[in-house]
Amino acid sequence: MNMRPSIPILRSFDEAKAKEFYVDFLDFEIFFEHRFEPDLPLYMGLIKDTCVLHISEHHGDACPGSAVRIEVDDVDAYCKQLNKKRYQNARPEVMEQPWGFRDMCIDDPAGNRLIFCTPIEDTSS
Cα 113 from Cα 21, distance rounded (Å): 12
The structural domains of the chain, with segments of one domain joined by +, span: 9-119
Residue-wise pLDDT tens digits, 48-107: 999 999 999 998 898 889 999 999 999 999 999 999 999 888 899 999 999 999 999 999
Of residues 121 and 105, more confidently modeled: 105
What does the chain come to in residues?
A: 125
With a cut of 90, say whether residue 111 has pLDDT above it: yes
Residue-wise pLDDT tens digits, 11-21: 999 999 999 99
What is the pTM (predicted TM-score) of this model?
Answer: 0.91
Q: What contacts 75, CB < 8 A, 6 or more positions away?
A: 94, 102, 103, 104, 116, 117, 118
- Given CATH 3.10.180.10, say whether it is the number of domain 9-119: yes
- pLDDT at position 122: 60
